[in-house]
A = this chain, B = another copy of it.
Amino acid sequence: MQLDQSQSLSRKDQIRLEREELILSVALSLLKEKGFYGLSMQAIASQTDYSKGTIYQHFSCKEDVLAKLVIRCGERLVSLIDLALDNGEGLRHKVVMVSWAFFMNAELEPETAGLVSMAKSPEFQIKVSETQQKAISIIDQSILSRVIGLFTQQTDIAVDKVKVGAFGWWAMKWGVQDVLANDWEMSQLGFDDPKRYYFESLHIFLDGLGVKRDQISHDFEKVQAQARRIFHVN
């Protein structure tokens, strides 16, 4: 009896989960094809061969769907960051590798990565269910605590510089991400490859912080190749 019930429950849950998966993958492909404006609950319903009502049993609104995509994107990012931290040698190298974690995560799913900053706006947040809000918040904390932890653990940086270091890096990385996401016309002004400029700037910042230089970190191509290997991208 109990077994049956639990089995049937888990079976239901299984189906529910699979469907949620389907909905999300359809949403993502719509996002890719038609962009943010082209994504509608109606379209998701048609493409999944479910009715609108059923979709609304999984997600309370359009924003809720997008939030879930952003959450998955964030979860993948966290795992890439962990890989970066495990494989980096010393503070500078780890910082560089984590930067690549962000870039490659965005590369894997540019559509979703482009939503991240929108998903953080208050107006978006209030439309999203609390569960999701918390999930986003937890991911943010995970990432930031890893970043701060990284700076704290290392010995080649003064205690009073830890927070500034983490902050400055964070800001710089975020700024570049924004440029990349909406590919601003920086090339017209001679900034053909923002990533290269980012890493150059980053090294200057780390120099200013007094972080030890090393052999690998300064070689853009090499470290990129290394990152692709570690993250299994491309």
Contacts and interface: CB of A to CB of B under 8 A. Distances in A.
Interface of A: 35-37, 114, 117-118, 120-123, 137, 140-141, 144-145, 148, 161, 163-165, 167-168, 170-176, 178-179, 181-186, 188-191, 194, 197-198, 200-209
A195 to B, nearest CB: 11
A209 B204 contact: yes
Chain A to chain B: the 3 pairs with minimum beta-carbon distance, closest first: A168-B201, A208-B208, A171-B175
Contact of A184 (B37, B118, B120): B120
A173 B171 CA distance: 7
A201 B205 CA distance: 8
Given A167-B197, A175-B175, 12 more contacts: A117-B182, A120-B182, A121-B182, A141-B188, A163-B197, A165-B204, A168-B201, A168-B205, A171-B171, A171-B179, A171-B198, A204-B208
Nearest to A170: B175
Of the candidates A168, A185, A206, the one having the most CB atoms from chain B within 10 angstroms of its own CB is A168
A50 to B, nearest CB: 27
Contacts of A161: 204
Contacts of A197: 163-164, 167-168
Contacts of A35: 123
A134 to B, nearest CB: 12
A148 to B, nearest CB: 7
Contact of A173 (B137, B164, B175, B186): B175
Contacts of A182: 117, 120-122
15 contacts: A118-B118, A120-B184, A144-B186, A163-B191, A167-B200, A168-B200, A168-B201, A168-B202, A168-B204, A170-B175, A171-B175, A171-B179, A174-B175, A205-B205, A206-B208
Nearest to A200: B164
Contact of A204 (B117, B141, B188, B205): B205
B176 A171 contact: yes
Contacts of A148: 189
Contacts of A174: 171, 174-175, 178-179
